[in-house]
């Protein structure tokens, strides 16, 4: 098996990845930040802030996930291909959730068959087609 120049350069790059001066400080900092954000989500969650409760909880959870992915999971120092895989998974997650939630959030009674579980009066735009609705 012959060694060309390119793999040995790659090997050298990998050795710098595992150097002895590697520091554990970022991990401790992230851990403290994660504990802080857990406390924050606990305190804001207990207030039951109405409309803002869910966006706040999701923003905090996304911040915590970004810290875990970038520092604990080493995405910050990873190669482009692994980052691409992670970002692709996130894009499909957003596609799946966005269109599903957009669907259930915008339904109103005339758009659903009688007796269907979705499309309550709560999500019906006010005054729209009210006189045309079938009697229930």
Write down the residue that tokens 């590697």 correspond to. 22
The least CB distance from residue 7 to another protein, in Å, is 4
CB atoms inside a 10 Å sphere around CB 109? 19
Write down the residue that tokens 């802030």 correspond to. 49
Q: Is 112 in the site for another protein (CB under 8 A)?
A: no
Q: Is 114 in the site for another protein (CB under 8 A)?
A: no
CB 126 within 8 A of CB 108: no
Q: Give the x/- contact pattern for another protein in 32-71, rule: CB under 8 A.
A: --xx--x--xx--xx-x----x---xx-xx--xx--xx-x
Write down the residue that tokens 């350069």 correspond to. 9
Spell out the alpha helix ranges (H) of the chain. Answer: 5-17, 25-47, 53-67, 80-105
CB 96 within 8 A of CB 107: no
Nearer to another protein, 16 or 132 (CB): 16
Binding site for another protein (CB under 8 A): 1, 3-4, 7-8, 10-11, 13-15, 18-20, 22, 24, 27-28, 30-31, 34-35, 38, 41-42, 45-46, 48, 53, 57-58, 60-61, 64-65, 68-69, 71-74, 78-79, 81-82, 85-86, 88-90, 92-93, 96-97, 100-101, 104-105, 117-118, 120
């Amino acid at each position: 098996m012959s060694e060309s120049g390119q793999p040995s350069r790659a090997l050298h790059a990998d050795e710098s990845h595992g150097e002895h001066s590697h520091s554990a400080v970022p991990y401790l900092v992230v851990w403290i930040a994660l504990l802080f954000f857990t406390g924050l989500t606990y305190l804001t969650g207990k207030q039951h802030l109405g409309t803002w409760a869910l966006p706040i909880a999701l923003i905090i959870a996304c911040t915590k996930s970004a810290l875990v992915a970038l520092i604990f999971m080493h995405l910050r120092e990873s190669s482009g291909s692994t980052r691409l895989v992670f970002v692709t998974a996130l894009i499909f997650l957003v596609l799946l959730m966005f269109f599903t939630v957009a669907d259930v959030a915008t339904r109103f009674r005339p758009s659903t068959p009688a007796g269907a579980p979705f499309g309550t009066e709560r999500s019906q735009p006010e005054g729209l087609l009210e006189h045309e609705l079938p009697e229930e």
